[in-house]
Chains A and B, each alone.
Chain A
Amino acid sequence: MKLQQLSVFLENKPGSLKKSLAVLADAKINISTLALAETKDYGILRLVIKDWEKAKSALEQGGFTVRQTEVLAVEVEDRPGGLATVLAPVEAAGVNVEYMYAYSTGTKAKAVLIFRFSDLDKAIAALKGAGMNVLENLQVFGP
């Protein structure tokens, strides 16, 4: 159920995003999806990667500060209101969304939403109860 996400600390200056991505490219690691949260001085790059352990050590060897966090991937219909159907049961369970980002595969008419919840287990229970499709690793990354 739970997906491992990597967060990388980046300074908000020209070249720092490229430098971190170059480390992954050199290690031949493909990124499934990513998001970047930024402030005036720094940013946090969040990455979902199939081979996250290899990615983590590559980034650490490249001199980056990396943190591993558990997130949830929820598949919804790629249509208006899709996200709202996920949020309703979570809100009812009193779970807070700390951050989220999404990606759309384009072919399956489905979208995948990546969530960091204040309480992952409670969120899983609420989503399952509402009949939502919480993805396992393999489903996200494909065979």
Chain B
Amino acid sequence: MTIEQWNDIPGTFHPACTPDFLPLPQLRELQLQRLQATVRRAYANVPLMRKRMDEKKVKPEDIRTLKDIERIPFTVKADLRDTYPFGMFASPMQEIVRLHASSGTTGKPIVVAYAREDIEVWTNVMLRSFAACGLHQGDIVQNAYGYGLFTGGLGAHYGAEALGATVIPISGGNTDRQIMILKDFGVTAICCTPSYFIHLIERAGEMGVKMKELPLRVGVFGAEPWSESMRQYIKENSNVEPYDIYGLSEIIGPGVGIECSAHQGLHIFEDHFLPEIIDPETGAVLPDEAEGELVLTTLSKKAMPMLRYRTRDITTLARGQCGCGRTICRFLRVGRRSDDMFIIRGINVFPSQVEHALLRVEGTLPHYQIVLTRDKGLDKMEVQVEVTPEVFADTVGAMEALQKKIAQALNQTINLNVAVRLVEPHTIQRSEGKAKRVIDQRKM
């Protein structure tokens, strides 16, 4: 056996993956030690977390078992927005080596910080993610996640390099060039959103590039929910084995969880991230088998520890050893959320962003609806706006100007090309109580 084959032969794994296979008593002991240290650090350095814990009369020394985590208050996305930009940092700026940011709902992004040790943890979990996908030294990885403030690009880059693979840092976009490089460089693995890979398959077909004749064999797909039918499409139209990767900036970026060769859910790197499932309504902790909201606590992050962060992703945890031999738990992706956020082309969008843009243009909020479709593997977003007497002008020119103004306001808010369609009043369905703002017609 050569080093190159480590992750391809059952029972042989990269040494960095050792924590994936820890006996559970040791894993739990490690988690408790790290949880206690993280809570102490957050309490000592983050005023918001100290205040929340004081209000609940819980001190760091009260965390004696893993179950005691239930005494710690939740952290939500709004906390990061309210303390923008640096209020959640537990390290002084001179110890922070990297800042990333995710798109914000009202213009302000969410800022996340990494100390040198955090970058090492991130690199480690991404290395283990790639190893779980059967990648190793000698693989050529085309990294089509965006490089920049978005965490995807650099996270994948460091992990693939640490594994010893060859990285092509192509970033997102420029489809024809992506296909040329896939072909000419003998790429064996690609990282991008699943919908973008489907787009690549289709474009390659148009360009006369036979995807099935390329050496490309692994796809690490994330940053948006996707489905079994997309997986089937990818498998039928390429030789790529698709792996679902999960992460969020607030926790670390990509590399919180990954699918393994058994494809029985996504493993969470439990030595660094402690998962819980809660009832999204009451906040009560649910048993593992129950479906509920995934809550994550970072166990080793220094610059920005997160205690009980509510991901809003609805899923189920699965314990018990996986077919791949890993002991760390898995979660089963169900692709639903407990809030109204949706993900389009890797960008998180809240209907409230659409409302802000419409309010800015029209002064009052018209009835509107967001329709998501998928065309040739690319997600499309259309905002349908009911025309009210206040905005209805008598000339086509004036109506086109209105349409353009709305589209521009939406593009500025969401950073995405959004189609605007003006519709007659009362054509958008009214529902009892909370309006159904998003019609998702994408076939997952």
Contacts and interface: CB of A to CB of B under 8 A. Distances in A.
Interface string A39-58: 10110101000000000000
Given A39-B400, A65-B424, A98 B387 contact: no
Contacts of B424: 9-11, 16, 63-65
B389 A67 contact: yes
Interface string B387-398: 111001111100
A46 B425 CA distance: 18
A42 B394 contact: no
A65 B387 contact: yes
A63 B425 contact: yes
Contacts of A92: none
Nearest to B393: A67
A7 B396 contact: no
B101 interface: no
A66 B393 CA distance: 9
B387 A9 contact: yes
A66 B391 CA distance: 11
**Residue from B394, B395, B399 with most neighbouring chain A CB atoms (10 Å):** B394
A97 B259 CA distance: 65
B421 A41 contact: yes
A133 interface: no
A138 interface: no
Interface in A1-33: 7, 9-11, 16
A116 B394 contact: yes
Band of interface residues on A? 20 to 34
B394 A66 contact: no
B392 A37 contact: no
A5 B424 CA distance: 19
A64 to B, nearest CB: 7
Contact of B395 (A16, A41, A42, A98): A98
Given A65-B387, A67-B393, A42 B427 contact: no
Contacts of B423: 11, 42
A85 interface: no
Nearest to A67: B392
Interface string B414-431: 000000011111110000
Interface residues of B, number: 17
Contacts of B392: 7, 9, 65-67
| Chain B interface helix/strand/loop/mixed | loop
**A interface, by DSSP: helix, strand, loop or mixed?**
strand
B84 to A, nearest CB: 38
A65 B388 contact: yes
Contact of A44 (B388, B389, B394, B426): B394
Nearest to B426: A63
A11 B392 CA distance: 13
Contacts of A44: 394-396, 399
Given A11-B427, A65-B387, A42 B393 contact: no
Given A11-B424, A41-B421, A42-B422, A65 B389 contact: yes
A141 interface: no
Interface in A60-98: 63-67, 69, 98
Contacts of B394: 7, 44, 46, 67, 69, 116
B368 to A, nearest CB: 15
A37 B421 contact: no
B396 A37 contact: yes
Contacts of A66: 389, 392
A48 B54 CA distance: 72
A101 interface: no
A41 B389 CA distance: 18
Contacts of A10: 424
Given A69-B394, A116-B394, A64 B425 contact: yes
A142 B225 CA distance: 65
A8 to B, nearest CB: 9
A89 B220 CA distance: 70
Interface in B284-333: none
Contacts of B393: 67
A39 B395 CA distance: 11
A64 B425 CA distance: 6
Contacts of B389: 65-67
Contacts of B427: 11
| Most chain A CB within a 10 A radius of its CB, from B396, B400, B421 | B396
Contacts of A42: 387, 399, 422-423
Output the residue of B388, B396, B424 with the most chain A CB within 10 A.
B424
Interface in B403-444: 421-427
Nearest to A38: B396
Interface in B356-370: none
13 contacts: A7-B394, A9-B387, A39-B399, A41-B422, A42-B399, A44-B399, A63-B426, A64-B425, A65-B425, A66-B389, A66-B392, A67-B394, A116-B395
Interface of B: 387-389, 392-396, 399-400, 421-427
Given A116-B394, A116-B395, 15 more contacts: A7-B392, A10-B424, A39-B399, A39-B400, A42-B387, A42-B422, A44-B394, A63-B426, A65-B389, A65-B392, A66-B389, A66-B392, A67-B389, A67-B392, A67-B394
The 9 A-B pairs of least Cβ separation, nearest first, read A7-B394, A69-B394, A9-B387, A65-B392, A63-B426, A65-B387, A11-B424, A67-B392, A37-B396
